[in-house]
Amino acid sequence: MTGYFELSWLDVVISLVLVGVLLIVSLVQRLGIGRGVFAGAIRTFVQLMLIGYVLKFVFDLSKWYWVLLMLAVMLVVAARTAATRDECRQPGRMRIAGTAIVAGVVVTMVTVVALVIRIRPWYLPQILIPISGMVIGNTMNAVSLTTSRFRSEMGHQRGQVEAALALGATSTQASARAFRQGMKAGLVPTMNALMVVGLVQLPGMMSGQIIAGVLSVQAVRYQIVVMYMIACGAAVGSLVAAVLVRRQLFTQRHQLRSEYL
Amino acid sequence: MTKPKLATERVTLTRTRYGADGSPPEPVLCDVSLEVAAGEVFGIIGPSGAGKTSLLRLLNGLETPDRGRILLDGEDISGLDTIDVRRRVGMVFQTPALFPGTVGENVGYALEIADVPGATREAKGLVCLDRAGLSDDFWSRDALELSQGEQQRVAIARALAAEPEVLLLDEPTSALDPSAAARIVDLVGSLRRDLGMTIVFVTHLMEQARRICDRALVLVEGRGVEEGEVAALFDAPSSEFTRLFIQGRLDGGRR
């Protein structure tokens, strides 16, 4: 037997004391987020319970279509989250976020399943779902940071962008600086994660195995691969998002569509 | 008039965006026609909000009219390559909109856009600076630390980099003190005189229009009310709008 301390439901309920601290702080400081604290605590509880059952169901059946459906739901939720964070209220942001996240995740997962992990069957849910989840989450952050920064830079630099267009620059040339700033903003958190991983925060995948008492050289290897995967997902997602936003911001005739800023 | 260098035929432009107060889109320009002859300084004059800037943006292809045509040397620009049109029709904005960096980088960027090879960029750029009335010393100076008047000259030098046939100037003196404004006006005159450029000059200052423009269009609330020789417009305006506008401005200037 390993040093694995089981949690009972009662233990989980007791841990609500911790949320109570957050509630008290928010009430004393009148932050006006009391309802959010309640909703957050309840959602955490319900969502994780449900996802536990759903995962067990998908693992037990181990059918490719259930796995893909599950991944599709994760992608839709990620796209919606990234789209709502985009301050631009124009149509098309859901499509942009969704396309960028799917591109980043598919490129990464296909590469890894084909070349690195080589699981059989390819849809083995115990591996595919948790790893995809990590890539989806990180790509989502990169995409939403990229789109919002790119748009806001284009707003700030609007005069310069139009001056460049008026000189005969293409939309790609005129928006080049804001494009780079947007992509950089989207990739910096991932770069930082690669730098400090393990030094400040132990990644979730390793933490889980440590707590379950089965930390192995395998877990470390997996974690290294996962870190490289989130880097790839973020890179592809950020690039696709920036290209799609740029396409949205200009007409075919290299005119700035300021209503999309 | 012989074949005009640049012309618009009844162009109409409607804002696609709703107003800040939620008002529905309304035409910014309605059926505006004008003809600019090669080598002349053509004024677009009118009160603020008349659509002068929008008209200029159409001429450079920054916006496309909903109706009507824009002709460059008799050819409809909607059938030409937009990038090519913008190289032939340069534009200087009301604010200089310089890029962060040195003056040389600003002019160099425009030369790069115009496909001028890197090795000859500095020599060509210095010629552009000279034409805009700036000495070689300005080349390595920080563009955003220059005075407003100097920045506007850099913007003009930058617009000259592509060797445009037509130069559009959108109230280039509005942010300048009177002496800097007068020097920009002199510069516009010399561009026409020395380079034979065709110039479209937007202004709401009647004295300025009278001094440098050969002919002008009076624009009021998105409609062209009168087009003709500047002297005739001022001495014998045929429309009531022009008369009131000119007098109002002239009186204002004397006060």
- Distance between CA atoms of residues A43 and A63, nearest Å: 28
Half-sphere exposure of B43 (CA within 13 A, CB side): 27
* Section A256-261 average pLDDT: 86
Residue B64 sits in the same domain as residue B175: yes
Give domain status of residue B240, yes or no: yes
CB contact under 8 A, B62 and A166: yes
Q: Hey, is the C-beta of B167 within 8 angstroms of any chain A C-beta?
A: no
Q: Does B238 share its domain with B175?
A: yes
**Is residue B176 domain-shared with residue B89, that is, in the same domain?**
yes
The minimal CB distance from A253 to the residues B64, B93, B155 is found for B64
Residues A95, A173: one domain?
yes
Backbone angles phi, psi at B177, to 5 degrees: -75, 165
Residues A25 and A149 occupy one common structural domain: no
Asked if B166 and B88 touch (Cβ cutoff 8 Å), the reply is: yes
User: Helix crossing, A34-61 with A16-28: angle to 10°?
Assistant: 150
| The predicted structure's pLDDT at residue B251 | 43
Count of domains for chain A: 2
The share of chain A scoring above pLDDT 90, in percent, equals 72
Q: With an 8 Å Cβ cutoff, are A159 and B91 in contact?
A: no
Q: Which residue of A has its CA nearest to B92?
A: A163
**Residue A171 pLDDT grade (very low, low, confident, very high; cuts 50, 70, 90):** very high
Test B97 with A163 for CB contact under 8 angstroms.
yes
Q: Residues B32, B122: one domain?
A: no
Q: What is the mean pLDDT of residues A149-170?
A: 96
Contacts of B110 in chain A (CB under 8 A): 167
The CATH number assigned to the domain holding B24 equals 3.40.50.300
Contacts of B155 in chain A (CB under 8 A): 163
**B151 located within any domain:** yes
**Overall size of chain A counted in residues:** 261
| ipTM confidence score | 0.91
**Cβ distance of A255 and B63 shorter than 8 Å:** yes
Same domain for A37 and A122, yes or no, is: no
Looking at the structure, do residues B66 and B128 belong to the same domain, yes or no?
Answer: no
Buried b (16+ CB within 10 A) or exposed e, A65-74: ebbeebbeeb
* Whether B1 and B117 share a structural domain: no
Q: Tell me, yes or no, whether B2 and B87 share the same domain.
A: yes
- The span from the CA of A148 to the CA of A201, in Å, is 27
Determine the Cα–Cα distance for residues B186 and B156; give it in Å rounded to an integer. 13
Residue B1 near residue B215, CB atoms below 8 Å: no
**Is residue A156 located within the same domain as residue A256?**
yes
The pLDDT tens digits of the residues spanning A70-121 come to: 999 999 999 999 988 776 667 789 999 999 999 999 999 999 999 998 888 9
Number of domains in chain B: 2
Backbone torsion region of residue B221, taken as left when φ is above 0, otherwise alpha when ψ lies between -120 and 50, otherwise beta: left
Of A135-139, A198-202, B14-18, B164-168, which range is least confident? B14-18
Within 13 Å, how many C-alpha atoms sit on residue A239's CB side?
10
Please report the pLDDT score of residue A188 as a whole number.
97
Q: Is the domain of A48 the same as that of A131?
A: no
B61 and A CB contact within 8 Å: yes
Average pLDDT across chain A, whole number: 91
Q: Are residues B81 and B176 in the same domain?
A: yes
Q: Number of A to B CB contacts under 8 A, please give it.
A: 65
- Give the closest-approach CA distance of A179 to chain B in angstroms: 15
Q: How far is B84 from chain A (nearest CA, A)?
A: 7
**Binning pLDDT at 50, 70 and 90, where does residue A211 land?**
confident
Are residue A166 and residue A77 in the same domain, yes or no?
A: yes
Inter-chain touch A166–B158, beta carbons under 8 Å? no
Shared domain check, A68 and A17: no
* pLDDT at res. B19: 54
Where residue A261 falls among pLDDT bands split at 50, 70, 90? confident
**How far is Cα B98 from Cα B105, in angstroms, rounded to an integer?**
10
Structural domain boundaries enclosing B14: 1-94+171-180+199-255
Q: Are residues B106 and B130 in the same domain?
A: yes
Write out pLDDT tens, residues A33-70: 888 888 999 999 999 999 999 999 999 998 999 999 99
With beta carbons less than 8 A apart as the criterion, state whether B89 and B166 touch: yes
**Pair B26, B151 in one domain:** no
Cα separation of A192 and A227, whole Å? 11
Virtual CA dihedral for B45, B51, B55, B61, nearest 10 degrees? Answer: 150
Q: What is the pTM of this model?
A: 0.88
| A160: chain B residues, CB-CB within 8 Å | 97-99
**Mutation for testing the A interface, residue in B18, B72, B83, B92 having most A CBs under 10 Å:** B83
Name residue A52's beta-bridge partners: none
Q: Which residues from A are below 8 Å from B172, CB to CB?
A: none
The pairing of strands B166-170 and B89-92 is: parallel
d(CA A144, CA A84): 9
**Structural domain of A35:** 1-61
Asked which of A61, A85, A102 is the last residue of a domain, the reply is A61
- Is residue B58 located within the same domain as residue B71? yes
> pLDDT value at position B27?
83
Last residue of a domain, one of A46, A61, A76: A61
Contact B113 A167 (CB under 8 A): yes
Query: Assign residue A65 a region: left if phi > 0, alpha if psi is -120 to 50, beta otherwise?
Result: alpha
Residues of chain B short of pLDDT 70, as ranges, are: 1, 16-24, 248-255
Asked whether the predicted pLDDT for residue A1 surpasses 60, the reply is no
Burial of B149 (0-12, 13-18, 19+ CB in 10 A): buried
